[in-house]
Amino acid sequence: MVQESSTKQRRKVLISSFLGSMVEYYDFLLYGAAAGLVFPHLFFDDQMSPFVGMILSYTILFAGYLARPVGGLIFGHFGDRYGRKNVLLITLIGMGIVSVAIGLLPTYATIGIAAPIILVILRVIQGIAVGGEWAGATLMAAEHAKAQSRGFAASVAVSGAPAGAVLSTLVLAIFSGLPEEQFMSWGWRVPFLLSALLVVIGLYMRYSLAESPEFEAARQSGHIKTGVPLKRIFSRYPKQTILSSLAITAPLFMQALMAVFIVPYVVSTGAMEQQLALMLLTFSAFVHIFAIPFFAWLSDRFGRRRTMLCAAVLSIALIFPMFAAFNSGNTFLIALGFILGNPIIQASMYGPVGAFLADKYAPQDRYTGVSVSYQLGSVLGAGLAPLISTALVELSNGWGSSNIAIYFIFLAVVAAVSVWFVERKENNIVLTKITTEPAPVSANS
């Protein structure tokens, strides 16, 4: 039977999962923030138009998202075979090394075409690392939690992402206040180099954690199987995997839209300076940290499906008002737009996601299953968000940001339909119960 974690251990796991995710997403989202503000000017030929430089920078950003499913498969495989804890230590170290390397990377003016090539390689490695991080941190929190608070526990790890966004945008905003020449010369590098300190803190917190009790129970009872976990995922859980990925595409699109696209967009309208826009994004991300667990708590109380369906309807209703606020030219209304985007639209759909995905897979397949579902949704949603949004704003129909709103409504409808039809596995005894009887082990399982 599953050995329940003590209250002290659960608290320690929650803090560690939150801090670890915060460090990971500080690194990952810092690139996103810099992609629209810094990299188009430093890592590409200055003879290019600003629009082309922006598209190329966002394309490299997308390369990181494309690499995330690969990381999910690699680390999911080992996480389901050997445990969650050690895998999470490796992903954290990998993220830190890449961020420091980006902070030290010479620009196009120094090494020419090698600069963007190296940036692509680093971004891919970064994507692989974060691809293994999200599922592991979320599962450690969820699998140590009591059944009735599984959604809230998983969301604490999930809320590390906006905490990382707060930290990355705050540090970048502080240094963006430097004179432009100094910021573009060395100021933007400091936030990347500071990642080394954060990684040390995260490693210290994770090293002393106990392994997931559900994974340990599966290992002791013989349920851990050899073979390829990915094969089992698509043979045993094809419906859950595909529909779950589609169900989370909309909130992940909104996540990247707010983290990467909106600040350059607002600045381009002439409504405010870059530093103020970054500070408004930082404030909304701070509120976001608490909004995610709140909506996850609602899913514990009222059910994942009901909460996520209501969130989709709410998001559809608020998306046009959000863009109206961003286009208003009024500082107060723009600030309101950031609040609508992060703590309300994104958090309401995203809060229950951790437990929603974990409930779909048995413990011995869960790391891989959650990684595949989440990272596929991440590629379709977050990875394409800056590219699609930039292209939609430039369409000749004259609708501007309304094109983005219409596209988001489409994603939200797809999410709602997917949530409605996906087989409900919340607290399903068939998937989560581990018996003490040894399970048959097949090399071809």
- The string of DSSP codes covering 366-410 is HHHHHHHHHHHHHIIIIITHHHHHHHHHT-TTS-THHHHHHHHHH
Tokens of 246: 């589609």
Give the burial class of 6: count Cβ atoms within 10 A of its Cβ; 0-12 exposed, 13-18 middle, 19 or more buried.
Answer: exposed
Q: pTM above 0.85?
A: no
* Helix runs in 145-273, H state only: 150-158, 160-176, 180-182, 189-193, 195-207, 213-220, 229-236, 238-247, 249-256, 262-268
Under 8 Å between Cβ of 54 and 167: no
Under 8 Å between Cβ of 295 and 351: yes
Cα–Cα distance, 31 to 202 (Å, whole number): 19
Residue 392, pLDDT score: 93
Residue 90: half-sphere exposure toward Cβ, Cα within 13 Å: 18
Cα–Cα distance, 270 to 368 (Å, whole number): 45
Under 8 Å between Cβ of 84 and 215: yes
Q: Tell me, what amino acid is at 161? A: A
User: Residue 186 gets which letter from DSSP?
Assistant: I
At 348, give phi and psi (nearest 5°).
-65, -35
At 151, give phi and psi (nearest 5°).
-65, -45
Tokens of 2: 């599953």
Cα–Cα distance, 359 to 240 (Å, whole number): 10
The terminus-to-terminus CA distance of the chain in angstroms comes to 23
Residue 211, pLDDT score: 78
| List of domains in the chain | 7-212+225-429 (1.20.1250.20)
CA angle 38, 42, 46 (to 5 degrees): 120
Tokens of 92: 């954290």
Q: Count the residues in the chain.
A: 445
Among 242, 283, 297, CA closest to 415: 242
Q: Other CB atoms closer than 10 Å to residue 216's CB: what's the count?
A: 18
User: Residue 28 gets which letter from DSSP?
Assistant: H
Q: Give how far Cα 381 sits from Cα of 17, 124, 192, 220, 253, Å.
A: 24, 18, 25, 38, 4
User: Residue 423 gets which letter from DSSP?
Assistant: P
Cα–Cα distance, 273 to 356 (Å, whole number): 39
Residue 431, pLDDT score: 41
Residue 22, pLDDT score: 85
Q: Which residue bears the tokens 């009222």?
A: 302
Cα–Cα distance, 424 to 60 (Å, whole number): 37
Tokens of 39: 């990299």
Q: Other CB atoms closer than 10 Å to residue 267's CB: what's the count?
A: 18
Q: Give how far Cα 206 sits from Cα of 86, 274, 355, 427, Å.
A: 9, 36, 21, 27
Among 347, 361, 337, 320, CA closest to 235: 361
Cα–Cα distance, 105 to 368 (Å, whole number): 33
Instruction: Tell me which residues of the chain have a pLDDT lower than 70.
Output: 1-6, 223-227, 423-445
CA angle 351, 322, 334 (to 5 degrees): 110
Q: Which residue bears the tokens 């018996």?
A: 435
Residue 124: half-sphere exposure toward Cβ, Cα within 13 Å: 8
Cα–Cα distance, 279 to 285 (Å, whole number): 10
User: Residue 362 gets which letter from DSSP?
Assistant: -
